[in-house]
Amino acid sequence: MKPGGFAILPVPVTVQRTIEYPEPNPYEEYHVRAPGLDYSDRYLEYFSRLKTWSSDDFSKKYQLYAGEKLVEYTPVCFV
C-alpha cells in the first residue's frame, strides 16, 4: 500500500476473544476460528494505526437489517 493509504478489513466479530478451532468447524461454514474483538490487534503487526468502527457509532436509521440487532465492528487500518 502507498504511504498514507488505508484498508477496510471487515471481519465478523462473534465473541470477546478469538476462538481458534483445532480443525475447520462444519457448524460455522468450516471456518478455523471465531474472531473476537481482539482479532483486529493482529493488524497492528502490519499497519501503523487502527480505528475500529462499530454499528453503534451510526444512527439507527442506517441500520436497515430486520430481526435481532447485533453490534458489528469494522477495523480500518492506516499505513
The full set of domain ranges for the chain reads 6-78
- What pLDDT shows up at residue 30? 95
- What pLDDT shows up at residue 18? 93
Residue 29 class from Cβ within 10 Å (0-12 exposed, 13-18 middle, 19+ buried)?
exposed
Residue 75 class from Cβ within 10 Å (0-12 exposed, 13-18 middle, 19+ buried)?
buried
Taking a C-beta distance cutoff of 8 angstroms, is the pair 32, 20 a contact? yes
Query: What are 32-42's pLDDT values in tens digits?
Result: 999 998 988 88
pTM for the model stands at: 0.70
What is the pLDDT averaged over residues 15-20?
90
* Distance of alpha carbon 74 from alpha carbon 58, whole angstroms: 12
Residue 17 pLDDT grade (very low, low, confident, very high; cuts 50, 70, 90): very high
Q: Between residues 19 and 10, which one has the greater pLDDT?
A: 19
